[in-house]
Amino acid sequence: MIRAILTDIEGTTSSISFVKDVLFPFARIRLPAFVETHADRPEVQHWLHETAKEAGIIYADRNEIVALLQRWVDEDRKATPLKALQGMIWEEGYRSGEFRAHVYADVAPNLQKWKKQGMDLYVYSSGSVAAQKLFFAHSEAGDLTPLFSGHFDTETGPKREPESYRRIAAALGKPAGDILFLSDVVEELDAARATGMRTTQLARAPASCPPQGAHSCVPDFDAIAAD
């Protein structure tokens, strides 16, 4: 019996194009000014230090770190320091009303249905926990944050490593077999399946389900069998 649903965001609850064509460029353009005007904030200093540490840089000025972060944006690198700083910049965009987070029309009704059925809902994304909360608080479907019981990001571990899903199951206090993981990325689903989690692949149009895939595959949340 499924007692919890763990979902990815990009390509699963929300379009990849919103992330790549709206969020990423917004953060990339504003990174230099954001770092310049917020460099005295302890959390910003921390993540700039972590950026240098992850890159193996011993001595670097602020401009070099910003240039490195912008290159990571271009590479779509799943680096925790980058994701944390992006989340801080996106917060300004959400709160100013420059954009609202895209969610597919089938997502909110099904999340609400599963919640009413007594399932616990969680998010696991490469975006920081803070960015995830902002995303769902300012979605096109309204504030969806009350539906979720918790969030996980890359501080838990890489999304393609089974150990990350073992940590999540332990944090939830549930057997892995009672958790359904939703994602559009096969390698993530493989890692979750290796721990005993149930898995469902989202193949949003124009994508299509593989003919002999290893995971249950559906075109949208309406087709998910969460029982």
CATH of the domain at 156: 3.40.50.1000
pLDDT tens string 144-177? 999 999 999 999 999 999 999 999 999 999 999 9
**What range defines the domain where residue 24 resides?**
18-96
Domain boundary among 36, 68, 96: 96
Lowest mean pLDDT among 101-105, 152-156, 195-199, 209-213: 209-213
Q: Residue 216 burial by CB count (10 A; 0-12/13-18/19+): exposed, middle or buried? A: middle
66-86: average pLDDT: 93
DSSP state of 122: E
pTM: 0.89
pLDDT at res. 225: 84
Find, among 76, 75, 79, 63, the residue nearest to 31 by Cα.
63
Of 105, 92, 145, 153, nearest to 128 by C-alpha is: 153
Q: What is the pLDDT of residues 11-25, one digit of tens each?
A: 999 999 999 999 999
Q: How many domains does the chain have?
A: 2
